[in-house]
Each structure stands twice: as structure tokens, then as C-alpha cells.
Amino acid sequence: MENLVPIGRFSKMTRLSVKALRHYDQLGLLVPAVVDRSSGYRYYTFAQANRAEAIRVLRSLDMPLEDVREALAADDPVVAAKVLDRHRARLEVELERHERMLGYLQRLIERKEGVMPYEVQVKEVPPQQVAAVRMHTSIETIGNDVAEGFGKIGAAVGKAGIPFAGPPLLIMFDVLDEESGGEMELAFPVAKPFPGEGEVFGRELEGGTMAWTMHSGPYDEIGPAYHTLTGWIQEHGHEIAGPSREVYLTDPSETPDPADYLTEVQFPIR
């Protein structure tokens, strides 16, 4: 019985390509049992096929070769299990991200099939009494910040016994960029002037001419609505005349699926 198999046969046994096997040799990940000094021919033992199989499986899970090495090098099976488990966690995160993105893709497809991705309209908006808080926020924290802010307003306005007069809105003074964040105001229309309490103050929100569009879908997919508006404003020779607004037409507590959220986006223009 011949003990050693050359690379081609080993390749078929293990379903790893010859190229890959040579690559693993070079990395020291799967070194042939014998390498002929003069010819350079690689020869593997049957027993090595097992390691090769393990590599193949781990690679089919897109595990980086370095991690494969680590997982296979560990004598302690608990350590090896830890490496595998770490990768499993990574895969699950990735999987979840893909599922989320698949939903987004689906909505993109549906939107594409409509005539216009975002229809821009010009609207006149009257001034309005609001109860508001102002705060600094950033892309990462905006979700929490908004929920918290509206909570404060709701508590203060409720305590004052003033009824709400419309859906809540957000006024963004800066363009949020990745690291620095920006200043925003959360506002709730109220039926009569709100005297203020703690952080929550009352004021009259300016009216004016607005470039307006509607975003339907999760909040973090709202970017295109903004870009469409700013692009439209530029192309139609207008100018941005103040901070942009979002109006939240959907109550998350009543509409559980973010895909059904409706949000107006407005830019005051001149």
C-alpha cells in the first residue's frame, strides 16, 4: 500500500483545488508530509485529508485562513470551540445584516417600479405653536435621542394639560456627518402656547414655503429623501432658507413594522 499521494489525487480526495493546497502549504496551514528535495513534488498522507477536510469546511463558511489556523492549532478543544463559536457569532451578525438589507432591497425594488422614487412638491406651511426641546445628537444616538426627547415633551405637555395639535416633528440645524453630529430640535404642535418647563420650552415654529417629500419605510433609510430634496432645490434654482424638518406621521406604538412608517421631509426654500 502506497502511503503518499501526490497533490492531484489529494486534491480530488479533499475537494480542495491544487492551487489552494499549494497556498495552504505556503502559509504553513497544511504542509505536505513529504516534499521531494530535488523535484519539489508535494506528497500527502491519508491522515492529512482529515485536516484538509476541516479546512475545506471552515473555508466554506468564509472563515479567514488565520482563524482556521488558530482553530486547528488549538490542542485544547475548548479553545478551538471558542474560535469556531466566535466565527459563528460573526456569521450570525452578517446573516442578520443581510436579512435586513434584503428587506431594504425589496423596498428599493418596489420604489423603482413606481414612476418617481420621491415626488417633490412645494407647500405652504403655516406657523404653529409647539412645545420643543433642543439637543445635540449624532447618527449613532439619534434613535434614542429622539425617543427620549419626545418622551420629555410628552410628559411636560401632558402635565400642563395642553392638547397636542398635530404629529411630532424634528428640526435639524446641521447636516449630520459621521463623527461630529449636530444640533436638532424636537417639537410637538400644541393647541395653545406652552409656557415651558425644564428643558421643554414653547415657541412659535416659523411657517413658509417648503420643498416637501414623503418617505415611507424605516427611519435609517431616509437618506435618499434628503438627497432628492437638496438636489431638486438646487436644480430648480431655489435656495435652502433654513433648517430642514421631518414630520412623523406614523406612531411606532400603533404601527409595529418600520416598513410602514411614513415621514414627511421638508426644506424651507426661497
Q: Could you say which of a copy of itself, DNA, none residue 239 binds, taking C-beta under 5 to 8 angstroms by partner kind?
A: a copy of itself
**Cβ at position 27, least distance to a copy of itself in Å:** 21
Q: How far is the CB of 256 from a copy of itself (least distance, A)?
A: 24
Question: What secondary structure does DSSP assign to 149-192, as a single string?
Answer: HHHHHHHHHHHHTPPB-S--EEEE-S---TTT-EEEEEEEEBSS
The answer to whether residues 35 and 42 touch, using CB atoms and an 8 Å cutoff, is yes
Identify whether the C-beta of residue 200 lies closer than 8 Å to the C-beta of residue 132: yes
Q: Which of residues 86-125 bind a copy of itself (CB under 8 A)?
A: 87-88, 91-92, 94-95, 98-99, 101-102, 104-106, 108-109, 112-115, 117
Rounded Cα gap, residues 214 and 25, in angstroms: 58
Residue 42 interacting with DNA (CB under 7 A): yes
Q: In one letter, which amino acid is 95?
A: L
Burial 198-210 (b: 16+ CB within 10 A, else e): eebbbeebeeebb
Q: Which residue has the cell 416598513?
A: 259
Partner from a copy of itself, DNA, none contacting 192, C-beta within 5 to 8 A by type: none
Q: Which residues are at the interface with a copy of itself (CB under 8 A)?
A: 1, 3, 12-15, 45-50, 52-54, 57, 60-61, 77-78, 80-81, 84-85, 87-88, 91-92, 94-95, 98-99, 101-102, 104-106, 108-109, 112-115, 117, 175, 177-178, 223-224, 226-228, 230-235, 239-240
